[in-house]
């Protein structure tokens, strides 16, 4: 960030996890990476207020797939998660920057509006006495911009292209083997491959207005 003043957002691939995203978010960046697979939904909080109605059990909020869901129990006793609409990503500057998602919870008679922190809080980092681990890995489970939303899909396109180039390089040779002996000769092939790709990109760039 010191080398690129005015930086606002950062896009990377799945290798970047919550622990890596947290300090970047605290610096005021919007960080986007695809969400890691296989994460269990995490209980977030319960919400209830006077407008819910007397017989309402309130709303069970969970973090799943990088965003806030409401958990419902169906008539068959099965668990069902519904994603909640995100109205806005709010940013509050201070010593460290805080980010909030303003979400909407549909209720029988009304819609509730709620702010959920999506940067790592001091309480998140405190050790839970029972597990001796940090209470909540918030930036792993909740995302500023959730993947699989129109904004998330747009940001995904900004990832650096090198990973797909590596994959294409592997596929370019039979059995994924570079047909040379020795590291020097292999390096020549790598450089040649990068050269061809860069030249193609340059030619495409020049031919478009």
Q: Which residues of the shown chain bind Zn ion in the complex (CB under 5 A)?
A: 52, 107
Least distance from Zn ion to the Cβ atom of residue 93, Å: 32
Three-state DSSP class for 24?
helix
189 φ, ψ (degrees, to nearest 5)? -65, -45
Cα–Cα separations (whole angstroms), residue 78 to 57, 75, 144: 17, 7, 29
The total of other beta-carbon atoms located within 10 Å of residue 27's CB is 13
């995203």: which residue's tokens?
21
Least distance from Zn ion to the Cβ atom of residue 56, Å: 6
- CB nearer Zn ion, residue 55 or residue 184: 55
Tell me the pairing of strands 30-32 and 9-11: parallel
Least distance from Zn ion to the Cβ atom of residue 48, Å: 6
- CB nearer Zn ion, residue 17 or residue 111: 111
Least distance from Zn ion to the Cβ atom of residue 115, Å: 16
CA–CA dist 209, 206 (Å, integer)? 7
- CB nearer Zn ion, residue 31 or residue 52: 52
The total of other beta-carbon atoms located within 10 Å of residue 145's CB is 23
Which pair of tokens denotes residue 160?
């650096």
130 φ, ψ (degrees, to nearest 5)? -75, -35
- CB nearer Zn ion, residue 44 or residue 107: 107
Least distance from Zn ion to the Cβ atom of residue 50, Å: 9
């Amino acid at each position: 960030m010191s080398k690129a003043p005015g930086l606002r957002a950062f896009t990377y691939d799945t290798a970047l996890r919550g622990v890596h995203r947290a300090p970047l978010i605290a610096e005021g960046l919007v960080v986007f990476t695809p969400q890691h697979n296989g994460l269990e939904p995490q209980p977030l909080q319960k919400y209830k207020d006077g407008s819910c109605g007397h017989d309402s059990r309130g709303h069970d909020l969970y973090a799943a797939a990088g965003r806030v869901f409401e958990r419902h129990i169906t008539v068959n006793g099965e668990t069902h998660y519904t994603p909640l609409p995100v109205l806005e990503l709010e940013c509050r500057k201070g010593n460290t920057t805080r980010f909030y998602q303003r979400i909407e919870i549909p209720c029988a008679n009304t819609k509730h509006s709620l702010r959920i922190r999506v940067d790592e809080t001091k309480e998140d980092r405190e050790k839970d006495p029972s597990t001796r681990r940090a209470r909540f890995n918030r930036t792993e489970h909740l995302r500023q911009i959730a993947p699989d939303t129109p904004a998330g899909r747009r940001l995904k396109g900004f990832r650096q292209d090198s990973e797909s180039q590596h994959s294409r390089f592997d596929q370019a040779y039979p059995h994924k083997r570079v047909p040379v002996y020795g590291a020097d000769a292999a390096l020549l092939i790598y450089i040649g491959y990068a050269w061809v790709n860069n030249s193609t990109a340059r030619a495409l760039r020049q031919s478009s207005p």
